[in-house]
Amino acid sequence: MPELPEVETTRRGIAPYIQGQEITEVRVRHTRLRVPVPADLAERLIGARLDTPRRRAKYLLLPLVDAPGTLLWHLGMSGSLRIARVGDTPKKHDHVDLVLASGDVLRYHDPRRFGFVDWLDGDESRDSRLAHLGPEPLSEGFTGERLYQRSRGRRMAVKPFLMDSRVVVGVGNIYAAEALFMAGIDPRREAGRISRVRYQRLAGAARDVLAAAITQGGTTLRDFVSGQGEPGYFAQRLNVYGRRGEPCRRCGARLKHVVLGQRASVYCPACQR
């Protein structure tokens, strides 16, 4: 699934092509995504200009310059937004096109159709999908103190705690595993039994691993590509995720595997306590 770095990479990739551009045509080839494509999407968008794209957690928000409302896009499990040109033949799983006055096309590709594009009227912060999200992990609102305070009395394992979007957004399975390794914390440890100092270390590790992944263009494991169709390269730097049974890059111990919150997690039994 595209996580925060992949979505941020997509936002940065498409922004120069779509910002300020007028939408001249909307082509919907398949309406049955996870959320049905709004029937009046073309009516709302044709003739409008796109403002600066933003990201909130794993959502992309495309506001309009001269009209109220925002396009809310989620890439789901296998989705990607790419820049094509008018006349480029769509592929089998290219479901939605926004044709721009420049001749560029913002094209949504999603083989599994678990993503969606929806329309938000008015105050987007009141939308149920956005209203209860925690702080962005690269913002000043995300600190070790916040993790420490929110974890008190929590008996769940620290890895699913870190992946809870009400605690902090966008720290998905890959980056939670990597941050916990960098901080030296066993992913099975109870969230409420971790000290303030260790949470400060974990918050810093989460910021570092996400920033590095964004710099590298995300993590390509199966389907992710950027807005220009380029893969991400952070997978080459993964320390634990997807490396079950391999030697730890730090100490050489064999990496172990456990299921936490129905998600696979790999960790080093020597480095992570």
The per-residue pLDDT for range 67-99, each reduced to its tens digit, is 889 999 999 989 999 999 999 999 999 999 999
Q: Is 263 a catalytic residue?
A: yes
- Prediction pTM value: 0.86
Give yes or no for a contact between 253 and 270, defined as CB atoms under 8 angstroms apart.
yes
219: pLDDT strictly greater than 70: no
Cβ count near 111 (within 10 Å): 16
Token reading at 263: 């998600």
Q: Which region, left, alpha or beta, applies to residue 19 given φ > 0 means left and ψ of -120 to 50 means alpha?
A: beta
Closest by Cα among 89, 106, 121 to 22:
106
| Residue 91, pLDDT score | 95
Q: Is 12 annotated as a binding residue?
A: no
Q: Is 2 a catalytic residue?
A: yes
| Residue 195, pLDDT score | 98
Please provide the distance, in angstroms rounded to a whole number, between the alpha carbons at the two ends of the chain: 28
Closest by Cα among 107, 158, 89 to 150:
158
Percentage of residues in the chain having pLDDT higher than 70:
93
| Residue 58, pLDDT score | 94
Q: Is 154 annotated as a binding residue?
A: yes
| Residue 144, pLDDT score | 98
Q: Rounded mean pLDDT of the chain?
A: 91
Q: Is 159 a catalytic residue?
A: no
Tell me which fold the domain 144-267 belongs to: Helicase, Ruva Protein; domain 3 (1.10.8)
What confidence category does residue 236 fall into, taking pLDDT thresholds of 50, 70 and 90? low
**Under CATH, to which class is 4-126 assigned?**
alpha beta
271: pLDDT strictly greater than 70: yes
What confidence category does residue 126 fall into, taking pLDDT thresholds of 50, 70 and 90? confident
**Annotated domain spans of the chain:** 4-126, 144-267
The catalytically annotated residue of 11, 56, 58, 198 is 58
Q: Is 112 annotated as a binding residue?
A: yes
| Residue 53, pLDDT score | 97
186: pLDDT strictly greater than 80: yes
